Amino acid sequence: MRKIFLLFLIFFLGFILRFWQLGVNPPSLDWDEASLGYNAYSLFTTGKDEYGNPWPLSIRSFNDYKPPLYTYLTILPVALTGLNEFSTRFISALFGSLSVVIGYFLIKELLPTKTSFFYLLSSILFAVSPWHIQFSRVAFEANMALFFFLLGIWLFLKSISQAKFFIFSFCSFAVSAYAYHSPRLVIPVLLGGLVFIYRQEIRKQFSWFLFGLILFIMLMLPLIVQMRLEVTARFGSVTVLNPDQRLESSIKLIDYDLAKGDFWGKLIHNRRIVYLREILAGYLDHFNFDFLFLTGDSPGRHHAVGMGMLYLWDLPFILFGIFLLMNKRNQKINTLFWWFLVAPIASSLTTGTPHAVRSILYLPTYQIITAVGITGFIDRLKKLKKNGKIILFFTFTLFILSFFYYLHMYWLHTPMEYSQWWQYGYKQAVEEVRKLAENYQKIIVSYRYDQPYIFFLFYDKIDPSWYQGNWGGGEIKRAERSFGKYEFRNIDWERDSKLSNTMLVGTPEEIPENTDGLVREINFLDGSVAFRIVTK
């Protein structure tokens, strides 16, 4: 009974950390979140996405394609509570909370010889993980994909003793692939390792395994076809294998003395070396000390200010935990290590590494290894008796202080210092423009912060059927980045200041301070100017 109560408290803590003021912090939707929310709204009201495509397998968003599952699931909260920040982020927070639950059962299946204290400790570490909290509070598909990824691993491990679970495991892996891009690369590699590790057990119940595998392939076929037609556009834009991005560095390694050998042979050979080097460097980036413990990756949307993806105090316990696990290796521990090693594979093939979103499938391996290190540390402290209790007290105090430091940085400092990363100010700009829009023939909105049109669609709740019929489906009109009286482009002050019957929404670099016709300045939360709104 006591264990159940403690489990409930852990899950409740995880739920509160993910749902408390969900629509308030982060301080604004970014453009991807706004796109997910508006497309869910569009599908709910018209059965089509913003481009007029009926129930697509990939959601077209700007020059990209997003997996569809998050958008489809967001239809329900949008239908119940309206189009807003909370409804857009609800699915991520829900599956983030559920991941803490499923994580507990996965950890028990993964390391069955451990104690109840270990399982509870691992769950606490997962519940308060800065990495997981960060992406549970934003509308990122990766967080939902993580839940189904964890569910798939848990069911696969259960299948070793109860073969019928192979069916549910493969189905869960397929759902994860429909939720986000990274699992599409990681899952086949992970499954290959799991099949090798448990090859003896799988051979004994091969029919169930084969049935699950065939079902997985059938479920993936529509996605594979769609990936060939559309989704590869995203991979081409972010991969290190893009020749346009890497050709120059490849050529630098070529020996241009044609007399000494085949030029094209050397070109191909050296390009392969460059690609392998880039992929390996990207992979190793995800073990970078700064990324994990100090600063996180470069986008401010991916971590709290002054924090890495993990707590700094995790480091010694992670190292000690790896040491302890290496000395007690078995099938389950090999599974944990294989999962740990393959998690960043998808991210390593892309630019901008390390990348906290694309490598989120790490979780909760770091928390499990940390818990192994902590329990091993406590076992050794018991031998020190009184001194051991003092050390344990200070270690626990450090944990509590680190947790509250994270909460302080996330709730107070991060919104202030990183509001620019969240495109803060668009909501306020839309509200201000709405008050005066009917008095002006044209409204020009700066494109300096990227994709402004989606915020006007979202916050003005533009009728999707009208938008699709008049603007959404037209490639030429979309290229102009305009609809109705709205025109989205960078502002040329020398030219645009001479316009009449026009409202301008621009950045401080585009519109001078104290200019005539200034309606309002909208500031980022750190006090710097985000937008100036001027009428002509």
Q: Label residue 64 by pLDDT band (50, 70, 90).
A: confident
Residue 286's pLDDT is what?
95
Q: Does this model's pTM top 0.85?
A: yes
Domain presence at residue 247: no
Is residue 69 pLDDT above 50, yes or no?
A: yes
- From 461, 486, 464, select the one nearest 473 (Cα to Cα): 464
| Distance of alpha carbon 388 from alpha carbon 401, whole angstroms | 20
Contacts of 219 (CB under 8 A, 6+ apart): 170, 171, 174
**Smallest Cα–Cα separation from 487: which of 471, 466, 463?**
471
Verify that 466 and 397 share a domain, yes or no: no
448 and 512 assigned to the same domain: yes
Do 403 and 493 sit in the same domain of this protein?
A: no
Q: Comparing 27 with 270, which gets the higher pLDDT?
A: 27
Given a contact cutoff of 8 angstroms between Cβ atoms, the answer to whether 505 and 445 are in contact is yes
User: In 3D, which of 453, 447, 467, 459 has the Cα closest to residue 509?
Assistant: 447
Cα 129 to its chain centre, rounded Å, is 15
Asked whether residue 410 is domain-assigned, the answer is yes
- Residue 252 placed within a domain: no
- Picking from 372, 401, 417, the residue at the C-terminal end of a domain is 417
209 shares a domain with 165: yes
Rounded Cα–Cα distance for residues 281 and 409 (Å):
31
- Is 60 exceeded by the pLDDT of residue 478? no
Q: Looking at the structure, tell me whether residues 393 and 429 fall in a common domain.
A: no
Task: Tell me whether strands 482-483 and 59-61 are parallel, antiparallel or unpaired.
Answer: unpaired
Who's near 281: CB < 8 A, 6+ residues apart? 353
In a domain, 212, yes or no: yes
If asked whether residues 85 and 17 sit together in one domain, one would say yes
Number of domains in the chain: 2
Q: Which domain holds residue 53?
A: 2-239+263-417
Q: What is the spatial distance between Cα 1 and Cα 474, in angstroms, rounded to a whole number?
A: 61
In whole angstroms, give the CA distance from residue 86 to residue 79: 12
Last residue of a domain, one of 417, 450, 472: 417
Q: Are residues 173 and 144 in the same domain?
A: yes
Kindly calculate the radius of gyration of the chain based on its CA atoms and give it in whole angstroms: 26
Which of 114-118, 119-123, 203-207 shows the lowest per-residue confidence on average (mean pLDDT)? 114-118
Residues 447, 406 share a domain: no
Specify the amino acid at residue 340: F
One domain for residues 432 and 379: no
Q: Which residue has the higher pLDDT, 249 or 501?
A: 501
In angstroms, rounded to a whole number, what is the distance separating the alpha carbons of residues 418 and 300? 6
Residues 398 and 494 in one domain: no
- Helical spans, DSSP H, in 301-385: 314-326, 331-342, 345-348, 365-381
Regarding whether 432 and 397 lie in a shared domain, the answer is no
Q: What's the chain's average pLDDT?
A: 89
Same domain flag for 211 and 343: yes
Which residue type does 288 have? N
pLDDT of 352 > 90? The answer is: no
User: Is there a contact between 275 and 245 (Cβ–Cβ < 8 Å)?
Assistant: no
Indicate whether 294 belongs to any domain.
yes
Q: What is the pLDDT of residues 427-471, one digit of tens each?
A: 999 999 999 999 999 999 999 988 999 999 999 999 999 998 776
Whether residue 183 has a cis bond before it, omega within 30° of 0:
no
- Residue 257: pLDDT above 50? no
Using one digit for the tens of pLDDT, what is the confidence trace for 206-219?
A: 999 999 999 999 99
- What are all long-range contacts of 115-121, with beta carbons under 8 Å and residues at least 24 apart? 115/375, 116/3, 117/375, 118/371, 118/372, 118/375, 120/3, 120/6, 120/7, 120/10, 121/371, 121/374, 121/375
Given a cut of 60, is residue 119 above it in pLDDT? yes
> Of 417, 442, 474, which one is at a domain's C-terminal end?
417
The SS3 call for residue 286 is: coil
Please tell me the distance from the alpha carbon of residue 73 to that of residue 88, in angstroms, as a whole number.
Answer: 10
Whose tokens are 């294989």? That residue is 338
